Structure 1
Amino acid sequence: MRPIRAACLGTATALVTLLACAPVAASATTDTGAAHDKGKHQVITLVGRLAQQNRFPIVDPTHPSQGDRTVFRSELYDENDIDKVGETNGTCTTTLADGGGAEVCVVTYTLPGRGQLSVQGMVFGHLNAGPPPSFDNGITGGTGEFDRARGSVHADTIGVGKRRFTIDLYL
């Protein structure tokens, strides 16, 4: 009886060791921080002109509330605001209707012939009077030459319905 118990204990010990080492091996192969060191860095500056925007309130159209949605489309121009180079399309959902408001947004930047960038993040203060505030969102991926893209997008309001987008891109 003792040899069977010893064999089972040895098998169990080997299985526990194998399972304990598996996450360590997996985490060693998924170093996402190294992408910034190994990838190609690029900064793209674009000007966006708001083309369409619709708000969809869920309760009262005169008072923003949690769950309200905004859907928009903007045309993208080169950094000199002369040549049209693409467009953005996105949706934002209000998550906080007090203190200036907060929205979580998902946006796609489409640059024909180059690909698309997927971006998401928070925008704060959109309910305050005056020009919309600046914001930073994260690049979550892309297509075409932007395949496996990472980085961020910084947006500044530069006029009525106009923003400057600075895309800090790692490929």
Structure 2
Amino acid sequence: MTIRRTFLLALLSATAVAAGGCAKPDDPKPTTLHVVERAETDTLQHVGKPEEKDSLGDILAFLNPLYDETNINKVGTSSGVCFRTKVGSAYECFWTATVPGGQLTVEGPFYDGNDSTLAITGGTGDFERARGEMALHARNPEGTEYDFTYTIVK
């Protein structure tokens, strides 16, 4: 592929992204849902050698409360599981957020000490046919509260 053609393809891709991708004018605008998870029930099942504190395959399970974006009013729950995929730095997770109007499911990485983005894989009720992504951000270094910002497209 020539340099000129590569540049043109890159420019077209950048233009499409800047213009909102290949969205049609009648496509619905994304809905944003911001909730705060309080990691109150996180339970780690260690599967490695007893002398190791962290090993490939460790399982983190949870059923945690979700609060509105002010972190005052309880609005639902977050339940799921994560599997350690890279010792000391990453899990692969999937979970369900149950909130007024239905449920949203997500799948993707959780990084130790870094923000991550997970894919919205579906939903129920008001979130039927949901897709999009969820940004995950730790609110404190202890990892006891997380911002979940869902950008939902139907």
What is the TM-score with the length of structure 1 in the denominator? 0.69
1:94 to 84, 99, 122: 84
Of the three residues 74, 88, 91, the one matched with 1:103 is 91
> Identity percentage over the alignment?
35
Distance in 2, Cα, partners of 1:92 & 1:36: 38
Alpha carbons of 1:152 and 1:76: their partners in 2 closer, same or farther (altered >3 Å)?
same
Structure 1 residues 143 and 72 mapped into 2: Cα distance closer, same or farther (>3 Å)?
A: same
Residue in structure 1 matching 2:34, options 45, 57, 60: 45
Deviation at 1:168, TM superposition (A): 0.6
- Give 5+ residue unaligned stretches, structure 2: 1-21
Letter in 2 for 1:119: V
Judge conservation of contact 1:121–1:138 (CA < 8 Å) in 2.
yes
- Aligned to 1:86, the other structure's residue is in SS state strand
CA distance in 1, matches of 2:150, 2:23: 20
Indicate if the aligned counterparts of 1:47 and 1:77 stay in contact, CA closer than 8 A.
yes
Q: CA–CA distance in 2 between the matches of 1:89 and 1:103?
A: 15
The structure-2 alpha-carbon separation of the partners of 1:66 and 1:36, relative to structure 1 and needing over 3 Å to count, comes to farther
Amino acid at match of 1:92: C
TM-score normalized by the length of structure 2: 0.76
- The alpha carbon displacement at 1:35 in A equals 8.7
> Cα distance 1:67–1:36, how it changes in 2: closer, same or farther (>3 A)?
farther
| Alignment-derived partner of residue 66 in structure 2 | 76
Gap change, CA 1:138 and 1:71, over 3 Å in 2 = same
- Deviation sequence 1:69-122 (CA, Å, 0-9, x none): 10012211111111111010110001121xx3221101101014x000010001
8 Å CA contact 2:48, 2:56 repeated in 1:
no
Q: Distance in 2 between matches of 1:122 and 1:79?
A: 22
Gaps of 5+ in 1: 1-32, 127-131
- Secondary structure of 1:81's partner? coil
SS at match of 2:39: strand
Where 1:145 maps in the other structure, the secondary structure is helix
